[in-house]
Structure 1
């Protein structure tokens, strides 16, 4: 009897251990699958304080960051598309056309300032990663701190490749892919890339039969009475975006200042002005009307043919995915018959 009891107990123990063994093995497998993604090395960039030359610098992640500071609105909106809103602890440069798809989520984020924010405000969010526009990674009052400075404090950085010299709209896809890896949300990254590429392909296909590439100049103006030309030399992302609508910056190789006389002599087909509506409630039509009425510019083709278009600042210099939205708006204005 005792022997049978012991045998029964022993069998129960064996069955219990077998059950636990299966459970432990499953748990171990899950842990391995979860942790095999990290440590993760991402090749990114840095530049010296006040510098202009970007150098490669690796960022090594032992796990997904938990507290994100985004230095511009477009950077924060990108993170929202990847489902990372609960990790955003601060947003700088709160201006520019909103992305309607994530506008409600964005309204709940902690905004640090309407303009560019400095290192003190950035560090005040206690971030473990700072993400965004490359030009803002500086120790100046308007900068979040250099990459080296932040890294030395134990804070990771991700400089958007679209925002550095050589960046193009294709760089946006690389940024989304990298951020998908950093936060282990690759499926959402792939889905968003697919969505953006479909929109880009739709625009380019509608404009495919336009063989003539028009020239343009950017008039960086806030005061209708003061004509100011921005050459945008070295702004590769800006130039690549406008090439989607068959526009070529007539001053792209000009390193110095561009005078009004140079503008008149170059006589571009199109003039682009920034739309500051979402920044200071100004009306771009006021600038258009002033330019059309300016006697000094009356001989220009763009003036005679009414070819002045306003584009939101963030669509031009936000270096983000939503530039495609601005390009689509511009394409519809320039070629309305092709988008009916």
Structure 2
């Protein structure tokens, strides 16, 4: 009889224990139903599109490198169901992880129907491709029930600064429910930023700001190059924080060395990209030994600084390392 009572008591205990466990498992996802985020996305004209999320995104499509790397920093690799083709081969800290992500198309050719077919809970990335001609408008995704976070650092209309990158990190932390990780990462970036700015303040004996010309698509045989915009947007803020100013305004395409003479920059930033890659040593050899440009300030003073395309012309945390590199190359080597 005692044995039967023991069995009944034990069985009831198991049932009650299981019931408690089941209750805990049911309660866990209810925090998802309480999740709610509202935020604004912007198109390239600065038009605002209010967005809303009622659940933590589990499926994410990203259209550029910098946002992808932010998500990797926040531990969200497994939630990325697709990325658009990167401008350059994966490199840097997240090289291996980037090469493992599923590429779903080219940023210039992939339309919203392809992106929507991956059933993302949110579409994240640069706002520059979000138009009818390329990846589709923010509004068109919203009509399909897909919220969009357009990277604020990519929207020139809103005059982004390096601090806007930190704002993007924090915003993504809230939207993707990893706020603590995002705030920690944002603090690290801000500390690096503040440190460089303090060092710039200590620089003395500069009579006037150095002028900067960025060049890319260098054809060393024809001695021609193009110059991207550094007179506004994120790139302008970056050079301004180093007390530098642009040598030209706007974009300048297919320039000769005669153009370089007329501009006479103090510093040349040589941007290396896979699509137009020329080894740094070859660029310097050609430019430092050409008699036509020998009196250009940047040539005379050996001030050609090479940076990677993604480190200077994207819109993410790599810019803080570029800020540090340019500071060291320009001021510490004087």
What TM bracket, shorter-length normalisation?
0.7 to 0.9
Specify the alignment match of 1:290 in structure 2.
286
SS at match of 1:187: helix
CA distance in 2, matches of 1:298, 1:287: 14
Task: Verify: 1:61 aligned to 2:58, yes or no.
Answer: no
Q: Are 2:125 and 2:150, in contact at CA under 8 Å, matched by a contact in 1?
A: yes
Contact 1:96 1:312 in 2 (8 A): no
CA separation in 1, counterparts of 2:77 and 2:191?
A: 24
What is the CA-CA distance between 1:329 and the residue it aligns to? Answer: 2.4
Instruction: Identify, as 1 or 2, the structure richer in strand.
Output: 2
**Where does 1:110-129 land on structure 2 (aligned, <5 Å)?**
110-112=102-104, 116-119=108-111, 121-129=114-122
1:238 pairs, out of 226, 235, 240, with 235
- CA-CA distance at 1:319 after TM superposition: 0.8
Q: What does 1:24-35 correspond to in 2, within 5 Å?
A: 35=33
User: Contact (CA 8 Å) 2:216, 2:270: kept in 1 or not?
Assistant: yes
Partner of 2:94: 102
**Alpha-carbon distance in 2 for matches of 1:113, 1:323:** 26
1:46 aligns with 43
1:271 corresponds to? 268
Question: Within 2, Cα distance between the matches of 1:231 and 1:96?
Answer: 17
Q: Residues of 1 paired with 2:230 and 2:267: CA distance?
A: 18
TM-score (norm 1): 0.79
Q: Aligned residue pairs: how many?
A: 309
Match of 2:147 in 1: 156
Counterparts of 1:197 and 1:99 in 2: how far apart (Å)? 23
* SS of 1:59 mapped into structure 2: strand
Using the TM superposition, name which of 294-303 and 83-92 deviates more: 294-303
Given that 1:217 and 1:229 are in contact with CA atoms closer than 8 Å, whether structure 2 keeps it comes out as no
How far, CA to CA, are the matches of 2:252 and 2:90 in structure 1?
Answer: 33
Gap runs ≥5 in structure 1: 1-19, 48-52
Matched, 1:333 2:333: no
Note the aligned Cα RMSD (angstroms).
3.1
Q: Is the 8 A contact 1:176 1:193 kept in 2?
A: yes
Within a 5 Å distance, the mapping from 1:173-188 to structure 2 comes to 173-188=166-181
Pair 1:146-2:143 in alignment: no
Conserved? CA contact 2:33–2:54, under 8 Å: no
1:236-293, Cα deviation, whole Å (9 max, x unpaired):
10111122333211223x57769555542332211112112x5565313222222223
TM-score scaled to structure 2, two decimals? 0.80
- Pair 1:74 & 2:70 matched: no
Separation (CA, whole Å) in 1 of partners of 2:114 and 2:235: 29
Aligned to 2:4: none
Give how far 1:104 is off: 3.2
After the TM superposition, which of the residue ranges 280-289 and 169-178 deviates more from structure 2?
280-289
The 1-side partners of 2:163 and 2:275 are apart by: 27
